[in-house]
Amino acid sequence: MIRLEDVTKTFASHDAVHSVSFCVEDGETLAVIGGSGSGKSTLLRLIIGLIRPTSGRIWIGDAEISQMSEAELDVVRLKMGMVFQYSALFDSMTVGENVAFGLREHRRLKESEIERIVREKLQLVGLAGSERMMPGELSGGMKKRVSLARAIAIDPAVILYDEPSSGLDPITSAKIDDLIIETQRKLCVTSIVVTHDMASACRIADRIAMLDRGELIALDTVERFRKLEDPRVRAFFRAVEMEEKEARI
């Protein structure tokens, strides 16, 4: 479903992503981990076409997007949903209007059909009956759920998550993990989840990829990833464990 071939993105003289190649199979969930500045968010922006690679090729299904025009990219993006780190809801719109936004922009549907889809997607994320609420009335976890409902309203084949548990308490984070797992199970979507949360990555993913200074240094199943002896992988595990201990204190 997603394939990167030797992708590099250079800003000035710095490679934010350097010679990265991997595939994500249809229906698979890949977690991408790494420290700040490792290139995780740049990778997502490349995959959704917000920025273009300096070199290399990116495939979404059978479409190679790196040289596409914006009009051509818009067609491919209709297959993709994005859940942003801070939800990115429109504060002046109701929950229902936020979820319906993509449908009204990109689909020619009757209003009754849009309302039906909005109800269906909000129910799927556990927010049935919340259409008239405003973003300011929602908790952080609820905003993430609305963001996911908006992403899946267009029935995408691919969902990209940017730090879905960022800023949430452990209990709410676990609920978001459950929601990602349930969404993948029910909709059979292909997912890439960028996260710094190692426990979350191990829980939701089929495979884990790790970036370090823009380079892909590890990619394996969750079970095998835990056993990797690469010192950069082990250092990341230790740093995460220290953060978790400090949080408990």
Cβ of 150: how many Cβ atoms within 10 Å?
Answer: 29
Distance CA 151, CA 216 (A): 27
Q: Are 232 and 57 in contact (CB under 8 A)?
A: no
Q: Nearest-CA neighbor of 82 among 52, 112, 42, 48?
A: 48
More confident residue, 20 or 176: 20
Quick one: 234 exposed, middle or buried, by C-beta within 10 A (0-12, 13-18, 19+)?
Answer: exposed
pLDDT of 179 reads 87
User: What distance, in Å, lies between the first and last C-alpha atoms of the chain?
Assistant: 43
Distance CA 167, CA 86 (A): 8
pLDDT of 3 reads 96
Is residue 244 very low, low, confident or very high in pLDDT (cuts 50, 70, 90)? low
Mean pLDDT (the chain, rounded): 89
> What phi and psi, each to the nearest 5 degrees, are found at residue 75?
-65, -45
**Which residues, 6 or more positions from 58, have their beta carbon under 8 angstroms from its beta carbon?**
2, 3, 4, 5, 7, 46, 47, 64, 65, 66
> What phi and psi, each to the nearest 5 degrees, are found at residue 32?
-115, 120
pLDDT of 245 reads 62
Q: What percent of the chain has pLDDT over 90?
A: 57
pLDDT of 243 reads 62
- Residue range 155-200, pLDDT digits in tens: 899 999 998 877 778 888 888 898 899 888 888 999 999 988 888 8
Q: Is the pLDDT of residue 206 over 90?
A: yes
Question: Which tokens go with 121?
Answer: 């997607």
Distance CA 177, CA 144 (A): 11
Q: Is the pLDDT of residue 249 over 60?
A: no
Question: Which tokens go with 132?
Answer: 């008239």
Quick one: 129 exposed, middle or buried, by C-beta within 10 A (0-12, 13-18, 19+)?
Answer: exposed
More confident residue, 56 or 169: 56
Is residue 95 very low, low, confident or very high in pLDDT (cuts 50, 70, 90)? very high
pTM: 0.87
